[in-house]
Amino acid sequence: EPGCFQEDNRKIVATINNANGTIRGPENSFCSDEYVLEPDEKVESRPLGAFIPCKLTEEFQVDGTRVVFSGYVYESFETEDICADFFEITEIRLSNP
C-alpha cells in the first residue's frame, strides 16, 4: 500500500526488489539537504540514478552504509528540478559485508 508522495498525486513508475546500494548523507550526495539511496546498478528507466527515500529511519541515516532495499519509484514532473527520483522504502536492511 503506497504511503509516500500521495499528496502530490504521483504514480508509481517502477518497483525495485532486493537491490544493493549505499546511503549517501547530505555532505556526500548531490542533493544538498537529503539523504540519498544510491543503487549499485542503475535502473534504466530512471536516468538520475539515485533515490530520495521516504521513510528512511534514523538507524540508516549514516553516510556510506551498505544496504539491501526494496520499494516503489515514483514519477517526477517535467516542471521539477530534482536531484534524485522519489522513492518509498518498503523494506531495507544492512547488507552483509
- Residue 58, C-alpha cell as written in the block: 534514523
Task: Output the pLDDT for position 6.
Answer: 81
Above pLDDT 90, what percent of the chain?
A: 56
What is each CA distance from 47 to 12, 41, 43, 50, in whole angstroms? 16, 12, 7, 8
pLDDT in tens, 8-53: 889 999 899 999 999 999 888 778 788 999 999 876 655 568 999 9
CA angle 75, 31, 24 (to 5 degrees): 100
Task: Output the pLDDT for position 43.
Answer: 61
Nearest residue to 85 via CA among 54, 48, 60: 48
- pTM of structure: 0.87
